[in-house]
Amino acid sequence: MESGESTPRLSTAAIVAIACNAMVAILLFLLFLILYRACRVPSSTERLPVLALAESETQQRNTHKYLLTTRLQKHKSNVATTA
């Protein structure tokens, strides 16, 4: 090589940009990995969702709804007969 020729080199700004893009790529990979693991369908059907109600709570809630609708229907029929 001749002493007058210079080899092409990357500037400092280009090296910083490459390093930042590499970090962004790694962070995106971690984000998608976390989302994949969080949204995975459970392999075991024995596990209940966190927000699932217990059977007794469900039955109590259904009974409460039944009583409310029964009272509402009785109230409507009383209003209709008095009008």
Residue positions counted in the chain: 83
pLDDT digits (tens, 9 = 90+) for 36-62: 998 886 666 565 555 665 667 777 777
Tell me how far apart the alpha carbons of residues 22 and 38 are, in angstroms, rounded to a whole number.
24
Using a cut of 0.85, tell me whether the model's pTM lies above it. no
* Encoded tokens for 50: 């966190």
Q: Are 22 and 14 in contact (CB under 8 A)?
A: no
Name which residue leads in pLDDT, 3 or 65: 65
Average pLDDT over residues 14-29: 98
Predicted pLDDT at 66: 66
Q: Are 53 and 61 in contact (CB under 8 A)?
A: yes
Tell me how far apart the alpha carbons of residues 75 and 81 are, in angstroms, rounded to a whole number.
10
